[in-house]
Amino acid sequence: MTRIFTTRSESETAAVGRELGLTLDADSMVLLYGDLGAGKTAFVRGLAEGLGARADDVSSPTFTLIQEYRGGRLPLQHVDLYRLDDPREVDDLGLDELGSGGVLAIEWAEKLPGSGAEAINVRITLGDGDARTIEISR
């Protein structure tokens, strides 16, 4: 099933993430695709809110690769693969264990070697100005 949303601000994108966060089960994997500045991190901020984790706990993990957020309905692991150059480094991250029991959200999921057939795929496309199109397939 694919749902498509159009948003016109960062908070609207976060709100779409929040709605998704309300519906996620343990061991969910959310793969995010989209150019730099598309709003992937904003979406994950909303996702954390939907899970009950404090929004200000979710800063951009671009420099740290993995951030963990507890205190919500389910723990959230937020991974940003932007700085990953070699796909073989993905193995070193141990993503399989990371997600267990919680929610795993991965920015720049195109850098993952596998296809993520079991995952929820979130593709964000930049439009004119602040417009974004968010396509959620699950």
Which residue ranges make up the site for ligand ADP (CB under 6 A)? 7-10, 12-13, 34, 36-42, 60, 107, 130, 132
Which residue lies nearest ligand ADP, judged by its C-beta? 39
Q: State the binding partner of 10 from Mg ion, ligand ADP, none, CB within 5 to 8 A by kind.
A: ligand ADP
Q: State the binding partner of 38 from Mg ion, ligand ADP, none, CB within 5 to 8 A by kind.
A: ligand ADP
Is residue 87 within 8 Å of residue 111, measured between CB atoms?
yes
In angstroms, the Cα distances linking 49 to 35, 53, 88, 104 are: 23, 5, 32, 14
What is the distance between the alpha carbons of residues 113 and 41, in angstroms, rounded to a whole number?
A: 21
Residues that bind Mg ion (CB under 5 A): 40-41, 107
